[in-house]
Chains A and B, each alone.
Chain A
Amino acid sequence: MHGYANPTRFLSLASWLTPLLLASGALLAAGALYWGLFEVPPDRLMGETVRILYVHVPSVWLGMGGWTAIALSSLAFLVWRHPLAAIAARASALPGMVFTATGLATGSIWGRPTWGAWWVWDGRLTSMLVLLFLYAGYIALAQAAARDGASSRIPAIFGLVGAVNIPIINRSVVWWNSLHQPPSITMGKSAIDAEFLVPLLVGTLGFSLLFGGVVLARMRALIADYQAEARLRRRAMEAH
């Protein structure tokens, strides 16, 4: 594992892993979306609106997954001081925020016909909105730290502290009475019929692979940025 903290070795791994993840993820996600949007039968109560499931669930899963990646990378950065860990955390933030926003938007569109309300302030929805704001704060902080040459330790601490929200989102529908439904898929059990469940799992896997590919591509871009800047600085030193 520590071997891949070496940027050269990471870059040679990422150069073939990135297109592989992006292609397989796009293929699986597109297939599952077609399956979910056109092939799956309507739900007994919700009818056709059940199809939002296939965008909503992968989105919120990756919204939470993105912050988990930030937290784990931040932990690795704080303890082992690998610069690559800080880059991984920074690269996960924007895709995570996009998926969180998509999850909130699709949830709202789903809530109107199902519950009869676009938005309610129950535990699940509120904690998910807090996650969106945490992402915005993290991105601003990480960008400011990178621009001003400040230590990446400040965004790393923020990333670790913000991780407290993840188990709260997960447990919110169990701890508190909420309008949002309780979890459908728990350890080894599913309250979702197989006809709905299989495309959902395929889609979640596909979007997750896509997410991994985007994060790797962003890490490569950030590393290239740092390298270009270091080279410029070296030239400026030589010119003196």
Chain B
Amino acid sequence: MSLIKPKHQRLVLVALALVALVGAALMAAWALRNQASYFYLPSQMVADPPQPGQAVRLGGMVETGSLRTLADGVTISFVVGDDKGARVPVRYSGITPDLFVEGSGVVAEGSLGADGTFVAESLLAKHDENYVPRELQEMDEHQAAKMAEETTVGLE
């Protein structure tokens, strides 16, 4: 007579199969970490620049004070940066999405020019995880932090 009940045997078998499956999925996700990314960060682009003319995406924050309209009136230039301090200048001609503002996230599709300027063919605005009503946007950082604290009371 076996000491292990069949249902316990099945439980162990299913548990082992799940561990193997999750392990395989994690390894696949890890192997895909670069290919599955939608864009390069500025620091990645500076460290390992793509071939000039190769179609890539660049994503980061539009640096405050860097947005300029060039002399032709339709071309804009700005600098995309990240929290590691890397900066990539970008040039774009066309209509920008509504959420494209300085200090906000952007994903630019295009290619790196020979002079190190990223020439964008299209811009996508990236919304961050913050949702704030209009009347609260004038608050300074301290007030906002206090507000956020009050919001999360009771959630911990």
B150 touches A75 (CB 8 A): no
User: What residue in chain A is nearest B30 (Cβ atoms)?
Assistant: A175
A72 to chain B, nearest CB (A): 12
Q: Are A190 and B133 CB-contacts (below 8 A) given A115-B97, A116-B124, A122-B38?
A: no
Complex Cα distance, B107 from A199, in Å, reads 31
B86 to chain A, nearest CB (A): 14
What are 23 A-B contacts defined by CB distance under 8 Å?
A: A44-B133, A50-B131, A75-B14, A78-B10, A80-B7, A115-B97, A115-B124, A116-B97, A116-B124, A117-B124, A120-B124, A167-B25, A172-B36, A175-B33, A176-B38, A179-B124, A181-B126, A181-B129, A189-B152, A190-B151, A193-B131, A193-B151, A196-B133
Complex Cα distance, B122 from A79, in Å, reads 52
Which listed segment binds A: B46-54, B61-69, B71-79, B134-142?
B134-142
B141 to chain A, nearest CB (A): 14
CB contacts under 8 Å to B, within A177-203, are 177-179, 181-184, 188-197
B125, B130, B131: the one contacting A115 at CB < 8 Å is B125
User: What residue in chain A is nearest B126 (Cβ atoms)?
Assistant: A179
A120 contacts across to B, CB distance below 8 A? 38, 124
Interface membership of B11, Cβ < 8 A: yes
Interface membership of B110, Cβ < 8 A: no
A79 contacts across to B, CB distance below 8 A? 7, 10-11, 14
User: What residue in chain A is nearest B153 (Cβ atoms)?
Assistant: A194
The size class of the interface chain A forms with chain B is 35 or more
A161 touches B21 (CB 8 A): yes
Complex Cα distance, B131 from A50, in Å, reads 8
User: What residue in chain B is nearest A186 (Cβ atoms)?
Assistant: B129
CB contacts under 8 Å to A, within B1-48, are 7, 10-11, 14, 17-18, 21-22, 25, 29, 32-33, 36-41
Complex Cα distance, B123 from A190, in Å, reads 28
The size class of the interface chain B forms with chain A is 35 or more
Q: Are A160 and B152 CB-contacts (below 8 A) given A44-B132, A120-B38, A191-B130?
A: no
B39 contacts across to A, CB distance below 8 A? 177, 179
Most buried by A among B11, B41, B129: B129
Q: Are A194 and B150 CB-contacts (below 8 A) given A120-B38, A179-B126?
A: yes
B22 touches A176 (CB 8 A): no
B131 touches A191 (CB 8 A): yes
B133 touches A179 (CB 8 A): no
A42, A160, A184: the one contacting B134 at CB < 8 Å is A42
User: What residue in chain B is nearest A193 (Cβ atoms)?
Assistant: B132
B127 touches A168 (CB 8 A): no
